[in-house]
Structure 1
Amino acid sequence: MIQVFKKFMVIVVVLFLFNCEQIIEVEDISNEQIVVLSPVNNTTLTSNEVNFTWEPLDFAEQYQLQIAHPNFEAAEVFVEDTIITANSFIKPLVTNTYQWRVRALNFAYETQYTTQNLTIEDQ
């Protein structure tokens, strides 16, 4: 019985060390910045289907995308708040002014948001 307990404890210690090593090896992305590809700041579009894209960030596992009307400081509506694994997101928007932002996430860290202004006009 003591031998089984010792083997169990060795396995628990090994698993604990393995999991701690994984946490320590997570890349710190908190000082990185998302580079927006489209729509860039102060863009005016006549199409209501918007393709939000940004350059992928090394060591990012997910991205958080948020869209607000008219902006985040005085948001009347949060149009979108989503976590995705891709570096693009398509969203239909009605004619209005918006602010959108995106940040990268991994297991232990996150970047600051990169924020852009956007206007959708009638065609």
Structure 2
Amino acid sequence: MKKIVVLIIFSITLLSCEAIFVENISDKIVQVLAPKTGNELDKGPVVFSWEELEGADEYHLKIATPNFLNANQIVLDTIITRRSFSEDLTTGDYEWSVIGKNSEYETLEEINILTIR
């Protein structure tokens, strides 16, 4: 009986300490590969891509037009596990960002500006 109680206490302690084993990525920024801020692209499919971030299990990708602060439209707001995503965009100004996430933390957000002509 004593061994069972010790095993239960050990299991509860181990489960409650999960955050200790999760990498803190809250001071990192996902490095964007494309499109970079200031890019002007032709309308149509745009491939958004970024470097893999160690410690991130998924990525929160957001696109708004003309910007996040005064968004006329949230074009995309999704969680994905890949490092790229294609979205068909029409003429206009856009802001986009990608945030790395794991079970306990998320990275800083860096906003990128994009113009589609």
- Matched letter for residue 57 of structure 2: E
Instruction: Map residues 1-123 of structure 1 onto 2, 5 A cutoff.
Output: 3=1, 6-121=2-117
Partner Cα separation in structure 1 for residue 70 and residue 50 of structure 2: 25
TM-score under structure 1 normalisation? 0.87
- For structure 1, which runs of at least 5 residues remain unmatched after alignment? none
Q: Which moved more, 1:101-110 or 1:7-16?
A: 7-16
Equivalent residues of 2:26, 2:107 under 8 A apart: yes
Q: CA deviation at 1:62?
A: 0.8
Identical-residue share of aligned pairs (%): 39
> What is the root-mean-square deviation of aligned Cα atoms in Å?
1.4
- Matched letter for residue 80 of structure 2: I
TM-score under structure 2 normalisation? 0.91
Compare CA radii of gyration and give the structure with the larger one. Answer: 1
Greater than 4 Å deviation, 4+ residue runs: none
User: Match of 1:12, SS?
Assistant: helix
- For structure 2, which runs of at least 5 residues remain unmatched after alignment? none
